[in-house]
């Protein structure tokens, strides 16, 4: 968690921003806003202080299971690094164990770790895949991320219904049959 000194600095900068956009920073409705924004920013970026590999390995178990393990529809919220506007959606993860499995909630925690950083969807997709590969050494990993980007919906092209999909694959998922099996199981 962010220390009090950093929170106060963020709140001070937020106060400056409010003034620069033309707000009366002394009005009642805005008096506590800078600190609320600072605390929100601390929460939205807490992933920098977390280790995804340690998270996965904290619940790693020897298991001879060798079929696909899928955790789908993992909700996430993140901030794009280009506009600091939210993007949000679902992450679907599959891996084929190679002697070790991890607690299913740890996969969702890894998504949270990477989504609670300033991000681009493409990098986040890759980071999730790479952390599972490094921690578990599975036979293969596939990650699919579907997201709505507020920077596309509220500004710029203003396309409200657009969805961006990214994917990363390794190992056994390079086989088209395995990849198709995963995609069919997502439906």
The catalytic residues are 80-83, 121, 149, 151
Supply 32's token pair.
Answer: 């506590």
> In the chain, where does DSSP find H-type helix?
4-20, 33-44, 52-57, 104-115, 121-136, 150-153, 176-186
Question: What is residue 83's three-state secondary structure?
Answer: coil
Give CA–CA dist 164/112, Å, rounded.
19
In whole angstroms, what separates CA 2 from the centre of its chain? Answer: 19
User: Tokens 């409705």 belong to which residue?
Assistant: 29
* CA separation, residue 53 to residues 81, 83, 142 (Å): 23, 29, 17
Q: Cβ contacts of residue 1 below 8 Å, gap of 6+? A: 42, 46, 49
């Amino acid at each position: 968690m962010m220390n009090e000194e950093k929170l106060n600095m963020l709140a001070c900068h937020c106060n400056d921003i409010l003034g620069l956009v033309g707000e009366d920073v002394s009005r009642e409705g805005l008096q506590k806003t800078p600190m609320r924004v600072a605390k929100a920013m601390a929460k939205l970026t807490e992933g920098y202080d977390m280790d995804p590999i340690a998270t996965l390995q904290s619940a790693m178990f020897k298991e001879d299971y060798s079929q696909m393990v899928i955790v789908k529809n993992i909700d996430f919220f993140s901030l794009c690094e280009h506009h600091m506007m939210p993007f949000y959606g679902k992450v679907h993860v599959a891996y084929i164990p190679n002697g070790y499995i991890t607690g299913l909630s740890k996969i969702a925690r890894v998504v949270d770790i990477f989504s609670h950083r300033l991000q681009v969807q493409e990098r986040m997709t890759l980071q999730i895949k790479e952390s599972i590969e490094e921690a578990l050494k599975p036979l293969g990993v596939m990650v699919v991320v579907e997201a709505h980007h507020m920077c596309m919906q509220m500004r710029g092209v203003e396309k409200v219904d657009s969805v961006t999909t990214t994917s990363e694959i390794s190992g056994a998922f390079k086989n088209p049959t395995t990849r198709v099996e995963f995609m069919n199981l997502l439906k």
